[in-house]
Structure 1
């Protein structure tokens, strides 16, 4: 096979800091090649080197046979590069954005006619040609950006986390589009924080601290941790977790809604003494590994640290969340349509649905930020309709765009939010100390927020939202773009809070997170179309017991669409 990308000893420094070191990689023509790695591993920098946006500090890269330094213009003309902050012009329509992209790429008029028709049809955007890009859903914007990067028919497409923040339906459509593009003989390189997406790649490269640690197929990468994964069933979760955390053989401990899942270090087995302590408390069953476990096994951060320890729980008087035929209308548009639900204290409920389904609008009603058009909502014993001001001291809210002050330090942000909640003196010091310990921020107090990684900013946003010990915590897509190790540790915090009585209402686009939730609610076009445990949702569709969350989600959404159409 022909190598479309080849790197030799590739490295890059920024202000004296080494970001990439000695990268040796070859990407073959016609494959979908994935880049995995923790935040700050160097994935985006590597993409920009391949796109000839950056020059290497050492080593060499050739792309489509051209040197990325000496022949950068040749590379630029032949590559489609979609960054995380992809550019569309919100005031231009779908068609006008595509026409603009074609003009700056020098696409001839006769070529544009055929290509634009094919791309818009593949992306399902033909019915939206005149709609301004600023009024498209997140999934539609990603597909339009992809079309704009394909309009000059590049033989190589570089995509940096293309499905970040995109719902599962749109993610599936995006990957169908990439597969069709690949079938035409083109090559795709994609970075992703989602391990279910990584399974779609032909080969994967794992980067950590600027170095390539592994390159292989998804199946071969999973095989590296075969025999090291166990599922643990127990009714004594706290006691069993304490035993397993003390075991040096345990690399990672995952706290799911109905079980624990442990990962052992390479070559390790639980010793007889540990097994004896677990006897009568838990049952251990070997489990098949996923790419998440491979990610954690390769991550130097996981290898360097023991499984996370849950700090002392701040006991809270959890509150019920309840909606009765709740409606929210904006003019003629109904964002939330007759939703009724009851969430008991101490439950973790996952709220899923396509972009625009009404999830964020519903959360904003529960938080007293929006008033319902019809129906009633109650949170922690207070009426949203009549007691919205009093409600805010009983809830914590972490929005999709973390409400942090980037120019302030960690300590300054915590003190500001403590003051906003009316905490002062000794109580403020105690709650800040507790929240910092809970979210592993101790020792980072003097660091400026703008200098923190996405995962640390995420933990700080959580700390700020729980300082006052809320009865109910609302988390709107809190783990978007976070790597698997930090995602697992974040969910450990959520489970710890729920075990102390806090009710947790969380939205997510990452379907694998459903296994952390006690129950799931699925929304579509403003309606609650399914509610129950994962097993109950499977049974409602008569799916097998091992059906994955994607099949469950898509099955319920398709069923809802058929009902709306009938």
Structure 2
């Protein structure tokens, strides 16, 4: 480091303004050599902006930042030459091969030609990419692309690595491999600073900085932050969850609610505690007990209480006529030997599947397993190479107009128009679903209220937070009250509280008769689903509920969904046994 600085990163009263809005303000931060420091906080809290300031991409509007001993404004080129910075989006060249992308990065970073072959071998071996040297980047799975992007940022052996959501959109196996690479890098003495919405990644850090509305509101080790929520978390298992919402009305001490599959967790202000009046109201619904805080609980407690997000997404009871689909099919989805080929590549291989009406069915699998292709086949967006599918009582095939009116589809990229307002996007989708004018107006008002978007109708979509865009995409897909709803990675990159609210709404839709098919890489979400379908290399290798999937494995049942997922993938890879979870 230049000038013998004690810290790798020093920020003093640093802030960044865009127009009249402060994205980051009054940040004081020090990071020492060899530390792993995580930035966590709500969507739009300023994590990406702060990382870009530290990477000397954005100049501070106030205060100053020093990185590796250099000032980020006056000596930006010295910083950018010495660090590795990996943004959320991919910065690779999709037409270049794996080895060509890495060679290009090495030339840009002035890696000596004599050293490059050994570094290339070591990095690609560590990333498991040696068998794919000549594969174009655009043909890689999401997990492979993330690992290649990390390799291109490590090729010059930087002393500091800045990562923005490294696990975003990456399957559990690839995320595990990414972290193995990062831990190897850290052992060499390097420093890692990253932003994440995954609380299991936050727990890997030496220290965390919790951001809210551009400010760092708390710093410390994961244990120290958990201690700040001690005595503030309570759990109950009510027979009627809707009663919890009524009980929490006008309860000022409540900071947030987490709707879990088997319990409801309530976070209260640690300074106020749980009032006796609220305890009595909750105890009428079931036993109330204090619970040790997790990092997700800490997230809820540290968020500022006057956040603009609505405390719950749905005000209507499950089963209400407004939530119920227009058409109630006998069976939600049924496929027979459904197959899709792209040239010689089998993207979906002989999939036979049945999903009952009103069921929440999760498709789990590694990046490139065929989940999105299967959904696009079921939506009629891709023709099948062979086999058949029936969705919401409609045979999938040519002339998909009738099918389109009975399904909703929320793709990974949300399919929104960023230059239009929230209201304009809703108007467009209502027109696409051929809703009459008066019906469209009522449907839009309902969808806005249901998804907590009231007050955002005139805002440009490009200026919304990730969680708000997620809710808008869901609102657009619900306008016509579909019988079957397809959600492809709907919670990728959103904060834990937004994720809990989202699943609360999905549960209510299911209870009202909507069939939901969802893909996710955040495997703890599988507990919200009635059944799981595990995919590997285009094949459906197992389907069933969690107990039956666990029971089908020999030996001691896996403790977590991630361990179960990895066990089935390993069986499929080695060809040991036939994994079956009892399709219905």
For normalisation by structure 2, the TM-score amounts to 0.91
- CA–CA separation in structure 1 for the residues paired with 2:488 and 2:571: 25
Q: Are 2:384 and 1:409 equivalent residues in the alignment?
A: no
2:266 alignment partner, one of 238, 262, 266 = 262
Cα distance change of structure 1 residues 140 and 302 upon mapping to structure 2, 3 Å threshold? farther
Does the residue aligned with 2:114 lie in a helix, a strand or coil? helix
Does the residue aligned with 1:282 lie in a helix, a strand or coil? coil
Cα distance change of structure 1 residues 374 and 286 upon mapping to structure 2, 3 Å threshold? farther
Cα offset, 1:309, TM superposition = 5.2
**Contact 2:42–2:495 (CA under 8 A) maintained in structure 1:** yes
> Residue by residue, what CA displacement relative to the aligned partner does 1:349-391 show, whole Å, maximum 9, x if unpaired?
2221101111111111211222333332221222224774321
1:198 alignment partner, one of 189, 196, 202 = 202
- CA–CA separation in structure 1 for the residues paired with 2:183 and 2:315: 45
Q: Are 2:536 and 1:532 equivalent residues in the alignment?
A: no
Q: Tell me the equivalent position of 2:212.
A: 208
Cα distance change of structure 1 residues 19 and 221 upon mapping to structure 2, 3 Å threshold? same
Q: Are 2:154 and 1:150 equivalent residues in the alignment?
A: yes
Q: Are 2:378 and 1:366 equivalent residues in the alignment?
A: yes
Q: Are 2:116 and 1:112 equivalent residues in the alignment?
A: yes
Q: Are 2:188 and 1:176 equivalent residues in the alignment?
A: no
**Contact 2:369–2:537 (CA under 8 A) maintained in structure 1:** yes
- CA–CA separation in structure 2 for the residues paired with 1:94 and 1:291: 37
For normalisation by structure 1, the TM-score amounts to 0.94
Cα offset, 1:306, TM superposition = 6.6
- CA–CA separation in structure 1 for the residues paired with 2:55 and 2:245: 46
Does the residue aligned with 1:207 lie in a helix, a strand or coil? strand
2:336 alignment partner, one of 309, 319, 324 = 324
Does the residue aligned with 1:3 lie in a helix, a strand or coil? coil
Q: Tell me the equivalent position of 1:376.
A: 388
Q: Are 2:226 and 1:222 equivalent residues in the alignment?
A: yes
2:164 alignment partner, one of 149, 160, 166 = 160
Cα distance change of structure 1 residues 433 and 204 upon mapping to structure 2, 3 Å threshold? same
Does the residue aligned with 1:235 lie in a helix, a strand or coil? coil
**Contact 1:167–1:355 (CA under 8 A) maintained in structure 2:** yes
Q: Are 2:403 and 1:399 equivalent residues in the alignment?
A: no
Does the residue aligned with 2:315 lie in a helix, a strand or coil? coil
Q: Tell me the equivalent position of 1:133.
A: 137
**Contact 2:310–2:452 (CA under 8 A) maintained in structure 1:** no
> Residue by residue, what CA displacement relative to the aligned partner does 1:311-353 show, whole Å, maximum 9, x if unpaired?
2241225442222332222232221222222222222222211
Unaligned runs of 5+ residues in structure 1 are none
Q: Tell me the equivalent position of 1:307.
A: 311
More displaced stretch, 385-394 vs 10-19: 385-394
More displaced stretch, 382-391 vs 63-72: 382-391
Q: Tell me the equivalent position of 1:289.
A: 293
**Contact 1:234–1:259 (CA under 8 A) maintained in structure 2:** yes
Q: Tell me the equivalent position of 2:41.
A: 37
**Contact 1:251–1:303 (CA under 8 A) maintained in structure 2:** no
Q: Are 2:25 and 1:13 equivalent residues in the alignment?
A: no
Does the residue aligned with 1:116 lie in a helix, a strand or coil? helix
Cα offset, 1:172, TM superposition = 0.8
Cα offset, 1:274, TM superposition = 4.4
Cα offset, 1:112, TM superposition = 1.1
Q: Are 2:422 and 1:418 equivalent residues in the alignment?
A: no
1:239 alignment partner, one of 224, 228, 243 = 243
Cα offset, 1:271, TM superposition = 4.5
> Residue by residue, what CA displacement relative to the aligned partner does 1:217-275 show, whole Å, maximum 9, x if unpaired?
12222232233333322332323443244544432222233432322231445445544
Cα offset, 1:431, TM superposition = 0.9
Unaligned runs of 5+ residues in structure 2 are 579-584
- CA–CA separation in structure 1 for the residues paired with 2:577 and 2:345: 18
- CA–CA separation in structure 2 for the residues paired with 1:548 and 1:212: 33
Cα distance change of structure 1 residues 301 and 88 upon mapping to structure 2, 3 Å threshold? farther
1:550 alignment partner, one of 559, 562, 565 = 562
Cα offset, 1:198, TM superposition = 1.3
- CA–CA separation in structure 2 for the residues paired with 1:30 and 1:362: 44
Cα offset, 1:564, TM superposition = 7.0
Cα offset, 1:398, TM superposition = 0.7
**Contact 1:348–1:519 (CA under 8 A) maintained in structure 2:** yes
Does the residue aligned with 1:450 lie in a helix, a strand or coil? helix
Cα offset, 1:565, TM superposition = 11
Cα offset, 1:545, TM superposition = 7.5
Q: Tell me the equivalent position of 1:541.
A: 553
> Residue by residue, what CA displacement relative to the aligned partner does 1:95-118 show, whole Å, maximum 9, x if unpaired?
111111111111111111221111
- CA–CA separation in structure 2 for the residues paired with 1:257 and 1:116: 45
Aligned pair count? 566
Q: Tell me the equivalent position of 2:582.
A: none
> Residue by residue, what CA displacement relative to the aligned partner does 1:521-565 show, whole Å, maximum 9, x if unpaired?
221111222323333333333686782222222122112212179
